Amino acid sequence: MRAVTLPSGIEIPVIGQGTWRVGEDPRRQKAEAEALQAGIELGLTLIDTAEMYGDGATESFLGETLGGLRQKVFLVSKVYPQNAGRGRLGRACDASLKRLRTDWLDLYLLHWRGPIPLAEMVEGMEALKAAGKIRAWGVSNLDTADMEELMRAGGLACATDQVLYNVTRRGPEFDLLPMLERSAIPAMAYSPVEQGDLPSTGALQTVAKRHGVSAYQVALAWVTRSPNVIAIPKASEIKHVRENRAAAELQLTSEDLNEIDAAYPPPSRKTRLAML
């Protein structure tokens, strides 16, 4: 699968797997575990989670589910903003590592900006890196001005900004995605298929029909059309996991892109970064 290179030089797959609301309901856990494991075998080895998900339940579920697959996986977790300060960050990271049954995180993200000064968060993240508990750190839900402030606060090693971005939410294209690209920081698109609620008719379907794929696959190929954007769809149905993997091979033509632009126009002015 096509890879995206992080500032540290590490390559990660352009499509991964999200886990929000995964592992919380015992009746669904078997299917969710099978879907995640199938995705990893297919190459969707980037797994995104957070201490917030299920109040730790999702990380614990992943700890059980990944088992012997841990070495194959690029594991991402996120810290609550209120836990990102001196002292608490280390404890939050240790708790995530314990639940995930691993000694290291490949990437640790600030979930959204909160009360802790960015310079203090950076210092804490760098200390975790030096201690070998995380391989890289990044942020989530930071808009352009926040990212510029982060750079001034010593955050040049930031590996990604994970943001809400999909065909129906193109706001980040106005200035955030260009700024990230200039800084060689890949964006990680969350909710890349609008939480399973893409429009059921229109341009996505027209393009999908032309390629013999689903509208969801078109939406994923569209989000990852730039070499600087990674997508982390969540899918608990194996059929969806397979489709998402195949979307990484789908090449959209300029005709496809023009039709999508006509139906879902790019932003013509700055809007505040939306978050879920």
Q: Which residues are catalytic?
A: 53
Residue closer to ligand NAP by CB (options 83, 140) is 140
Can you count the helices (H) and strands (E) in the chain? 10, 10
CB of 134 to ligand NAP, least distance (A): 17
Count of residues touching ligand NAP (by CB under 6 A): 28
Q: Which of residues 51-110 bind ligand NAP (CB under 6 A)?
A: none
Which of positions 196-255 make contact with ligand NAP (CB under 6 A)?
196, 214, 216, 232-237, 240, 243-244
Distance from C-alpha of 26 to C-alpha of 155, rounded to nearest angstrom: 40
| Site for ligand NAP contains 276 (CB under 6 A) | yes
In the complex, what is the shortest distance from the CB of residue 21 to ligand NAP, in angstroms, rounded to a whole number? 7
Q: Which is nearer to ligand NAP, 75 or 131 (CB)?
A: 75
Cα-Cα-Cα-Cα dihedral of 253, 227, 149, 268, to 10°?
-10
**Within 33-52, which residues bind ligand NAP (CB under 6 A)?**
48
Specify the DSSP class assigned to residue 262: H
Smallest gap, in angstroms, from Cβ of residue 130 to ligand NAP? 25
CB neighbours of 10 closer than 8 A, spacing ≥ 6? 74, 106, 135, 136
Binding mask 144-183 for ligand NAP (x = CB under 6 A): ------------------x---------------------
CA gyration radius, the chain: 18
- Which of positions 181-200 make contact with ligand NAP (CB under 6 A)? 190-196
Q: How many CB atoms are located within 10 Å of the residue 137 CB?
A: 25
Q: Which residues contact 272 (CB under 8 A, 6 or more apart)?
A: 143, 171
Query: Which CB sits closer to ligand NAP, 237 or 249?
Result: 237
- Give min distance, CB of 50 to ligand NAP, in A: 7
- Select from 102, 141, 144, 224 the one that contacts ligand NAP (CB under 6 A): 141
Going through the chain in order, the beta strands assigned E by DSSP cover 3-5, 11-13, 17-18, 46-48, 74-79, 107-110, 137-140, 161-164, 187-190, 229-231
Shortest Å, Cβ 236 to ligand NAP: 4
Cross-strand partners of 5: 11
Beta carbon nearer to ligand NAP, 83 or 214: 214
The answer to whether residues 185 and 7 touch, using CB atoms and an 8 Å cutoff, is: yes
Give the footprint of ligand NAP on this chain (CB under 6 A): 18-20, 48, 111, 140-141, 162, 190-196, 214, 216, 232-237, 240, 243-244, 275-276
